[in-house]
Chains A and B, each alone.
Chain A
């Protein structure tokens, strides 16, 4: 990883579920990896996530889903596109059945992390997405 790049990442949950062990562990892990992490409690509205991502100018949004909340991630992707924020990468982590993973990737999600993923793997992905996203922004 290029240590000069410090990704800015928003770790959050949308929908109705409140189980936040995953989002808290990942937020702390990315922080420990030297990244700038913005963490929110669960149940954020999609519009709130878009607004926060815009105001904080994040590189990556990480959505944690334990209980099917990822089913509304395609709505988040639409909202980001409408706000002209397609350069912000979205990753999803948690209990995501195979049948839903394909739908999420189709909707533009960069990657889905399942239980058993290591922090190093997640950090590397966030880093790479940041580098790619910033390169695209410069090109535009």
Chain B
């Protein structure tokens, strides 16, 4: 330890002893503090906890393994992050209007969130009209996709499709690109949330093909994209679902890393080269308001992934070791009470993600606990990102919290907790087996209940809910825009006409080929889905064919 500059000051050892004494006298009864992942938190951290001379090598510099300080040498000082707002409402035409506004407001990448009927694998003519387009855009055909992406140059703008198995949205987009003469090799973006396991355990938002079928199609999809779409990220491994469902930040990170290992092993078993597919793996996380814990979660995860990819998966290319992630601010932390307070919550969450070294960010609208986000709410969410990026000087320095005694100690502790949970999953036979057995679902449910108890007992303060409650003026609450019912009815009518008048022979041939592919492991199911989209098949027809051939998945109820 260095000597103090002023020789009249106490020696470090005496100073620490003095502080301990003063702290004990001043604090009274000290409360025990644990973060959401259960890691105990001390009142102060010093070089006794984390010593740069001994531990500096574990950090490396940005762009260097193990990437604790960031996966690129320049990080946010070079390229900040993609501002990718989840967007989706109403008909394809309504979505397109909103999309153009989002692009004009500074977004440089887009996403498409489909209607829940699409997630469930149904077409619009077999759904309740009351629900169509209320939480996402109705996309059932290539023409719908073409309308939704009017005016968007697919070779230039990165598009993330929230695309559950069997990835029909990407198929419709590829068919659209073919119609427009856009080279598939120029298309960039992500099959967002392509992770069937996190959907299965946490929010059940994919169309519930039985697990073995979902597993097969994901591997087919990665294989197809690796060969034909060099700029596309086919694998988005998701921690957001499990954390929103109740898992602690450490649990959710552990489940996500185990899922990535599972999918990578499945790809290797298919004969794919890890250095071909791993650079196209991306991650998607929730970022809660537990500020330092989230930052430490991301820093620890980069370090773990860099080790796993080399040691367990045999990757030799540094691009395979880099842990690229998108983060979304946590909707679960937002409150219905005093909703404008959510703007400050989202700001803190977004800062944690930025300081944690994210590559892409979605900020939630303040009104998410009231309704699907209003246009006004979405605009403030984008402005929040603009303020953080361009006013707050957050991006001047790379990994500004690196070397903080607290953040470095917490990064080590979070790594320990994440690895502990990963061992539980690996001991159960890996993520697929642990999900099949219901183990992951039970852990998530337990943590969700624990958190609910903490809020109800007042142990965890939630402003406006269990503290600082006040009479509210409900006029501050936005009115939720609903898709135009007449517009939706006319879309249904057009859809029925399309189905009745299209050329039926190629449709039937494509569905037959899809059904055969499902039973032939040498074939690629996703390649047949793309052909079906080009032949004029609908989303529902593709999903029903696969469900018939590969089995319908059922939710495992674990209460």
Name A's B-contacting residues (CB within 8 A).
Answer: 15-21, 24-25, 27-29, 31, 37, 39-43, 67-69, 71-72, 75, 95, 97-100, 114-116, 118-120
Contacts and interface: CB of A to CB of B under 8 A. Distances in A.
B203 interface: yes
Contacts of A25: 246, 448-449, 452
A125 to B, nearest CB: 16
B456 A97 contact: no
Contact of A71 (B115, B117, B134, B199): B134
Closest 10 pairs between A and B when the two form their complex, measured CB to CB: A18-B204, A16-B116, A41-B555, A68-B134, A97-B371, A116-B465, A71-B130, A67-B135, A97-B480, A115-B336
Contacts of B462: 116
Contacts of A120: 456
B124 to A, nearest CB: 12
Interface residues of B, number: 46
Nearest to A21: B245
Contacts of B134: 67-68, 71
Contact of B557 (A40, A71, A95, A118): A40
Contacts of A19: 203-205, 244-245
A24 B448 contact: yes
B369 interface: yes
A16 B246 CA distance: 21
A118 B337 CA distance: 14
Interface centre among A16, A43, A72, A98 (most CB of B within 10 A): A16
A99 B456 contact: no
28 contacts: A15-B116, A17-B116, A17-B135, A18-B119, A18-B203, A19-B203, A19-B245, A21-B246, A21-B448, A24-B445, A25-B452, A28-B445, A31-B559, A42-B555, A43-B204, A68-B135, A68-B372, A71-B128, A95-B368, A95-B369, A97-B370, A97-B371, A97-B477, A98-B474, A99-B479, A116-B336, A116-B464, A119-B452
Given A72-B131, A95-B369, A119-B456, A67 B204 contact: no
A43 B203 CA distance: 12
B554 interface: yes
B127 interface: yes
Nearest to A39: B559
A29 B127 CA distance: 32
Contacts of A16: 115-117, 119-120, 122, 127, 131
Nearest to A16: B116
A24 B120 CA distance: 20
A29 B448 CA distance: 11
Contact of A67 (B116, B337, B474): B116
Contacts of A99: 479-480
Contacts of B131: 15-16, 68-69, 71-72
Given A21-B448, A24-B448, A41-B554, A116 B559 contact: no
Contact of B559 (A27, A42, A98, A115): A27
A121 B116 CA distance: 31
Nearest to B464: A116
A67 B368 CA distance: 10
B335 interface: yes
Nearest to B478: A97
Nearest to A19: B203
Interface in B321-379: 332, 335-337, 368-372
Given A43-B204, A67-B116, 9 more contacts: A16-B127, A20-B555, A24-B445, A29-B452, A41-B555, A67-B135, A75-B128, A95-B369, A95-B371
